[in-house]
Chains A and B, each alone.
Chain A
Amino acid sequence: MNSHNLADALILYGQPFASRMLLGTSRYPSLHALEASLTAARPAMVTVALRRQLAANGDAQVGFFETLKRHGVPLLPNTAGCHTVDEVITTAHMAREVFETDWLKLELIGDDYTLQPDPIGLIEAADKLIRAGFKVLPYCTEDLVVGRRLLDVGCEALMPWGAPIGTGKGVVNPYGLRTLRERLPDVPLIVDAGLGVPSHACQVMEWGYDGVLLNTAVSQANLPEVMARAFASAVEAGRAAYLAGPMLERDSAEASTPVVGVPFWHQADVTHEPGAAA
């Protein structure tokens, strides 16, 4: 199945995307590794950020941005590092001006250790950003009620975490994510954060999730380009499996080979009288 066929496009805010994989651009060993990973994965969007200009690295960052522009991949600016609604709003407006896009990955951190989102501020920030015309993709948890509140203020997709950012743990709350999927069947859901290996991505796609966003799992792999390609294949496989309609899981075994005609299988004669010799 070609994941880059718009016939099964990921639809976000009415825009189709051929790929169901979004990729972060951070923590790669080199610009070349990033570029090779982008080519291998062909992601729908890549995440970017804004940070204070430091005189020493000004030219390096221009190279990074020029590389992305040359690839022509859609950009998804984030508000990483923001701890208040005001910081998010200011960062969002700055991002829109620099990156010339309304797309925004909304991050509002509530804890510096777990980097989990502040659910209360997240809803307030999403409300203000949606009113300001941003296409908001909120990084959230698997909390169903918070998800509903984000949708109520106008978000058209959610990005629940699989695990804390950068941990590579995969999905730490399968029940929560599956419940979210079941309770919000018509909402584009993208698992963002915490994925570590392609099987994690494949698993959530099999559950019916619409996409994944990952960064560290690729950038910190020994061979980022190879891992990027592996993740792209896993997303494609998981999506295909979901669309194929997997078999139902059973508790008891059921032979897949017919039992009729098994050779060497001796059966009692049904006409034999009890107690008589066989």
Chain B
Amino acid sequence: MDIRINNHPFSIVDDAKLVDALNAFGAKPPFAVALNGDFVPRAEHGSRALTSGDRIDVVRPVAGG
């Protein structure tokens, strides 16, 4: 199925969980995740199923004002 990670198109198997997408993307700790605009706690990464068209945001610490 086709999803988007950080606004980039990504292809993944149909029964993938969120953690599978993160591993395929190469998410580097420390990071946090939102799925379709909603925060997904780390504890749920392994159980959250994905559907076609899902939008995943993977964010990491950066400098800020």
The reply to whether A27 and B65 contact each other, CB–CB distance below 8 Å, is yes
Which bucket holds chain A's interface residue count? 35 or more
Query: With A62-B28, A80-B65, A94-B32 in contact, do A51 and B60 touch (Cβ < 8 Å)?
Result: yes
Chain A, range 44-85, C-beta contacts under 8 Å to B: 47-55, 58, 61-62, 64-65, 77-78, 80
Min Cβ gap A31→B in Å is: 9
Chain B, range 29-55, C-beta contacts under 8 Å to A: 30-34, 37-39, 41-42
Total A-B Cβ pairs within 8 A? 94
The reply to whether B65 and A50 contact each other, CB–CB distance below 8 Å, is no
Query: With A94-B32, A98-B30 in contact, do A51 and B39 touch (Cβ < 8 Å)?
Result: no
The residues of B that contact A61 with a CB separation of less than 8 Å are 60-62
From B37, B39, B58, B63, A52 is in contact (CB under 8 Å) with: B58
> Complex: how many Å from CA A240 to CA B37?
46
A90 close to B (CB within 8 Å): yes
> Complex: how many Å from CA A64 to CA B59?
15
B9 close to A (CB within 8 Å): no
From A24, A50, A80, A215, B32 is in contact (CB under 8 Å) with: A50
Chain A, range 91-107, C-beta contacts under 8 Å to B: 93-95, 97-99
Query: With A58-B28, A90-B37, A97-B41 in contact, do A65 and B61 touch (Cβ < 8 Å)?
Result: yes
> Complex: how many Å from CA A1 to CA B31?
41
Query: With A52-B6, A52-B58, A53-B6 in contact, do A90 and B64 touch (Cβ < 8 Å)?
Result: no
Min Cβ gap A20→B in Å is: 18
The residues of B that contact A90 with a CB separation of less than 8 Å are 34, 37-39
> Which B residues form the contact surface with A (CB < 8 A)?
6-7, 26-28, 30-34, 37-39, 41-42, 57-65
> Which A residues form the contact surface with B (CB < 8 A)?
24-28, 34, 47-55, 58, 61-62, 64-65, 77-78, 80, 86-87, 89-90, 93-95, 97-99, 165-166, 215-216
